[in-house]
C-alpha cells in the first residue's frame, strides 16, 4: 500500500499551479535555506530540463525564492517573492541551463553571504515531493520527508561513532544514514535521517564531538 | 486497512458505520494521532478550499493569461439568467472552476487528489451546501469519504496524470466527489460506490494533454465537467441506478487503460490538445515571452 494516509489524497495545501513545478520547487528552496542556516544575501539559481523550459508559467522561480525566504509550500507571499527578496536584501539571479540533467525537474542553487557560501542540487520528483542530490559537491540523497542532520567532518575513525553515541544517549532513532567523502582522509559528510526533530541542545552537543566541523539540521 | 471498494463497503456494513468513519478510524490507527488532531487537520483543508472558492469567484488571472475569470462569468450568468442545466449544477461548476483558476493563478489550494484536479471535490461540496445544509462536521466528513475512495484508486491504479492520464486525476476527483455527495445526501455506502463507478466509467480514457505543459488548458474546464458528472452520478445512484460493472473492476480497467496510453498523452505536452496548431502557438507565445 503506497498511500496510507487520507492526507496524501486530500492534501497537501499548496500554492498552485503544479505540485511538481511549484510546491516541489519551494521545498528545494526551503531545504537550501535551512541547510545554510540563515538568510542568504545572494542566490544564483540554475534551472535544468522542464524547470528551465516552463519555470515562468509555473512560478518555479518565485517558489524557489519563497523557499529561500523560509516560506512553506502554502505561504501566499510566494507570489510576491521577488519583492520580498528585495526587502530581505537578497539578490537573486536565474540561469536557464541548456544542458541535460538526470532528472527533468532539476535546480542547482548557490547561495551565500559575506561569511560563506553553499551549493546544492535539488530535484522535484512529483506530488510536491523533493530531494537533494548534491550538497557542496557531495553526492547524496535527502528527501526532506523526515528530520535530518548533516554533519561535515574529517574523514577519521571514530567520527561516526561519536555522533551516533550522542543520538543514542538522547534516544533519537536513525531511520536512514549515509556517509560520503570526496577523498580519503579529507572532508566527509554524514547524512542522518531521524524519526524525531533534533533539539537545539543535542545539535550543540553534536558540534563539540571529535573531528566534527559543522552540523546543520532540517525539519520537515 | 481496506484495499478495495468492496472491502470498504463490507466494513461499513459489518460495523454499521459510514464510509467517513471507516476512513477516520483507519487514519487514527495508521498515524497514531488522536481523532481531534485528525479532524482539525482536515478542517484546515476545508477552510483552505472554502477560501479558494471565494477568491476565484472574485476573479483571478493566471501568469500565462490562459485562464481566469470564467468562474465570475458563470456565476453572473447563473444569477442573472435561467441556466439550462439548473442553478445547483452551475453553482457546483462555478466553484470547481473557481478553485482551479485560483490554482492556475498561484493561489492557495488543497490538492484533491492533485493540484490539477483540485476543483471537483470542493466544487461539489460547496455547491451542495445550500441544498443540504450540512453541519461543519458533515462537511469535514465529506472529505474523509472522498479520501477513502481516492485512496483505493491511488493504491490500485493511479492518481497521477503522468502515470495514468487525466482519467486518473479529474476522473478520480470526480468519482471521489460523487461518492462523498451520496453520503452527505443520506445515501448508503453501496450507493456511494455505485456513484463512483458510474462517474469513473464515463471518465475512462481521458488523456492528460495540457497546453504548454501548464496546469490550465484544458484542466480548468475538465474540472467543470468532472464536478457536473459527479452530481449527475450521485443523483443516478440515489435514484437506485447501479453500475453493471462493479466499482473495483472499473478502477482496474482505468489502470489498464492508463498502462496502454501513449506517453505523449500523459502530461508531456506532446500530444492531444497540446499538439494542436493553436496549442503549439500558445506554447510558443508563452515560452517566447519567458525567454526574454
Kindly tell me if the per-residue pLDDT of B185 is higher than 80: yes
CB B112 within 8 A of CB B120: yes
- Using CA coordinates, name the residue in chain A closest to B23: A6
Q: Say if domain A148-218 classifies as CATH 2.40.10.480.
A: no
Distance from CA of B272 to the nearest CA of A (A): 19
- Total domains, chain B: 1
The predicted-structure confidence for B117-138, as pLDDT tens digits, reads as follows 999 999 999 999 999 999 999 9
Q: Which cell numbers in the block locate residue B88?
A: 445547483
- Using CA coordinates, name the residue in chain A closest to B143: A10
Rounded mean pLDDT of chain B? Answer: 95
DSSP character string of B37-79: HHHHHHHHHHHHHHHHHHHHHH----SSSSS-SHHHHHHHHHH
- Using CA coordinates, name the residue in chain B closest to A125: B162
- The residue-averaged pLDDT of B80-93 equals 96
The predicted-structure confidence for B29-53, as pLDDT tens digits, reads as follows 988 789 999 999 999 999 999 999 9
CB B3 within 8 A of CB B156: yes
Distance from CA of B87 to the nearest CA of A (A): 27
> What is the count of residue pairs from A and B with beta carbons less than 8 Å apart?
142
Q: Are B214 and A17 a contacting pair at CB < 8 A?
A: yes
What one-character DSSP code corresponds to residue B274? G
Question: Which residues from A are below 8 Å from B154, CB to CB?
Answer: 2-3, 8-9
Question: Which residues from A are below 8 Å from B215, CB to CB?
Answer: 16-18, 58
What pLDDT is attached to residue B291?
40
Kindly tell me if the per-residue pLDDT of B79 is higher than 60: yes
Question: Which residues from B are below 8 Å from A78, CB to CB?
Answer: 106
Question: Which of A13, A17, A56 has its CB closest to that of B110?
Answer: A13
Question: Which residues from A are below 8 Å from B106, CB to CB?
Answer: 15-17, 22, 59, 62, 78-79
Q: Are A16 and B114 a contacting pair at CB < 8 A?
A: no
Q: Are B107 and A15 a contacting pair at CB < 8 A?
A: yes
A-interface mutation test, from B3, B107, B108, most A Cβ less than 10 A away: B108
What pLDDT is attached to residue A220?
60
- The residue-averaged pLDDT of B80-103 equals 97
State the Cα–Cα distance between residues B264 and B281, nearest whole angstrom: 18
- Please give the residue range of the domain that contains residue B181: 5-290
Question: Which residues from A are below 8 Å from B121, CB to CB?
Answer: 10
Question: Which of A5, A13, A126 has its CB closest to that of B162?
Answer: A126
Question: Which residues from A are below 8 Å from B62, CB to CB?
Answer: 17
What pLDDT is attached to residue B57?
97
Q: Are B150 and A9 a contacting pair at CB < 8 A?
A: yes
- The residue-averaged pLDDT of B17-35 equals 93
Read off the CATH number of the domain in which B74 is found.
1.10.4100
Q: Are A16 and B154 a contacting pair at CB < 8 A?
A: no
Report the Cα A47 to chain-centroid distance in Å: 16
A-interface mutation test, from B25, B48, B104, B111, most A Cβ less than 10 A away: B111
Question: Which residues from B are below 8 Å from A59, CB to CB?
Answer: 63, 106
Please state, as a whole number, how many other Cβ atoms lie within 10 Å of the Cβ of residue B270.
14
State the Cα–Cα distance between residues A6 and B46, nearest whole angstrom: 14
Question: Which of B110, B162, B176 has its CB closest to that of A11?
Answer: B110
Question: Which residues from A are below 8 Å from B63, CB to CB?
Answer: 56-57, 59
Rounded to whole angstroms, what are the CA distances from A183 to A116, A137, A187, B25, B147? Answer: 22, 12, 7, 52, 49
Nearest by Cα to B215 from B118, B287, B290, B123: B118
The domain A11-142 is placed in CATH, from the list 3.40.50.720, 3.30.1330.90, 3.40.50.300, 3.40.50.150, at 3.30.1330.90
Q: What is the ipTM of this complex?
A: 0.96
Rounded to whole angstroms, what are the CA distances from B38 to B8, B31, B137? Answer: 20, 9, 12
State the Cα–Cα distance between residues B193 and B39, nearest whole angstrom: 24
Q: Are A50 and B42 a contacting pair at CB < 8 A?
A: no
Query: Domain-by-domain residue ranges, chain A?
Result: 11-142, 148-218
What pLDDT is attached to residue B269?
84
What pLDDT is attached to residue A161?
94
- Using CA coordinates, name the residue in chain B closest to A4: B30
What pLDDT is attached to residue A218?
84
Please report, in tens digits, the pLDDT of each residue of chain A (220 residues total).
778 889 989 988 999 998 888 988 999 999 999 989 899 999 999 999 888 877 877 889 999 999 999 999 999 999 999 999 999 999 999 999 987 778 878 999 999 999 999 999 999 877 677 889 999 989 988 877 678 999 999 999 999 999 999 999 999 999 889 999 888 888 899 999 988 888 999 999 999 998 999 898 887 6
DSSP character string of A154-205: ES-TTHHHHHHHHHHHTTPPEEEEEEEESSTTSEEEEEEEESSPPPHHHHHH
The predicted-structure confidence for B206-262, as pLDDT tens digits, reads as follows 999 999 989 999 999 999 999 999 999 999 999 999 999 999 999 999 999 999 999
CB B118 within 8 A of CB A74: no
Amino acid at each position: 500500500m503506497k498511500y496510507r494516509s487520507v492526507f496524501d489524497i486530500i492534501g497537501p495545501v499548496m500554492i498552485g499551479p503544479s505540485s511538481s513545478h511549484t510546491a516541489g520547487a519551494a521545498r528545494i528552496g526551503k531545504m537550501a535555506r535551512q541547510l545554510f542556516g540563515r538568510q542568504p544575501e545572494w542566490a544564483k539559481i540554475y534551472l535544468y530540463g522542464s524547470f528551465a523550459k516552463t519555470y515562468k508559467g509555473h512560478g518555479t522561480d518565485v517558489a524557489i525564492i519563497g523557499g529561500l525566504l523560509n516560506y512553506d509550500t502554502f505561504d501566499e507571499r510566494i507570489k510576491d517573492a521577488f519583492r520580498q527578496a528585495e526587502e530581505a536584501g537578497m539578490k537573486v539571479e536565474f540561469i536557464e541551463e541548456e544542458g541535460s540533467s538526470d532528472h527533468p525537474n532539476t535546480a542547482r542553487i548557490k547561495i551565500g553571504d559575506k561569511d560563506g557560501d553553499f551549493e546544492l542540487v535539488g530535484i522535484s520528483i512529483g506530488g510536491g515531493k523533493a530531494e537533494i542530490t548534491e550538497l557542496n559537491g557531495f553526492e547524496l540523497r535527502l528527501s526532506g520527508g523526515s528530520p535530518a542532520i548533516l554533519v561535515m567532518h574529517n574523514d577519521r575513525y571514530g567520527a561516526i561513532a561519536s555522533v551516533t553515541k550522542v543520538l543514542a544517549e538522547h534516544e533519537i532513532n536513525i531511520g536512514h544514514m549515509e556517509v560520503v567523502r570526496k577523498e580519503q582522509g579529507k572532508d566527509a559528510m554524514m547524512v542522518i535521517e531521524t524519526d524525531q526533530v533534533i533539539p537545539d541542545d543535542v545539535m550543540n552537543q553534536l558540534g563539540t564531538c571529535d573531528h566534527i566541523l559543522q552540523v546543520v539540521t532540517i525539519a520537515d | 486497512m481496506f484495499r478495495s471498494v468492496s472491502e470498504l463497503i463490507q466494513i461499513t456494513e459489518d460495523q454499521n458505520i459510514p464510509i467517513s468513519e471507516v476512513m477516520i478510524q483507519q487514519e487514527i490507527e495508521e498515524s497514531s494521532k488522536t481523532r481531534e488532531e485528525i479532524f482539525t487537520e482536515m478542517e484546515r483543508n476545508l477552510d483552505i478550499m472554502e477560501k479558494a472558492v471565494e477568491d476565484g469567484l472574485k476573479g483571478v488571472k493566471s501568469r500565462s493569461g490562459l485562464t481566469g475569470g470564467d468562474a465570475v462569468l458563470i456565476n453572473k450568468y447563473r444569477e442573472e439568467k435561467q441556466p439550462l442545466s439548473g442553478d445547483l449544477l452551475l453553482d457546483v461548476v462555478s466553484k470547481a472552476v473557481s478553485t482551479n483558476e485560483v490554482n492556475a493563478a498561484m493561489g492557495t489550494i488543497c490538492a484533491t487528489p492533485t493540484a490539477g484536479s483540485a476543483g471537483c471535490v470542493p466544487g461539489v461540496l460547496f455547491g451542495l451546501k445550500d441544498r443540504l445544509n450540512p453541519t461543519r462536521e458533515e462537511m469535514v466528513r465529506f472529505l474523509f469519504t472522498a479520501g477513502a475512495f481516492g485512496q483505493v484508486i491511488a493504491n490500485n491504479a493511479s492518481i497521477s496524470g503522468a502515470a495514468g492520464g487525466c482519467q486518473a486525476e479529474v476522473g478520480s476527483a470526480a468519482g471521489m466527489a460523487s461518492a462523498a455527495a451520496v453520503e452527505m445526501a443520506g445515501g448508503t455506502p453501496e450507493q456511494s460506490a455505485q456513484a463512483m463507478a458510474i462517474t469513473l466509467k464515463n471518465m475512462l480514457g481521458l488523456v492528460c494533454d495540457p497546453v504548454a505543459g501548464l496546469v490550465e488548458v484544458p484542466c480548468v474546464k475538465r474540472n467543470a465537467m468532472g464536478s457536473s458528472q459527479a452530481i449527475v452520478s450521485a443523483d443516478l445512484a440515489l435514484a437506485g441506478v447501479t453500475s453493471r460493472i462493479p466499482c473495483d473492476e472499473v478502477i482496474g480497467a482505468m489502470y489498464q487503460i492508463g498502462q496502454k496510453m501513449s506517453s505523449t498523452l500523459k502530461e508531456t505536452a506532446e500530444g492531444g490538445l497540446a499538439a494542436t496548431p493553436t496549442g503549439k502557438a500558445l506554447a510558443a507565445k508563452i515560452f517566447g515571452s519567458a525567454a526574454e
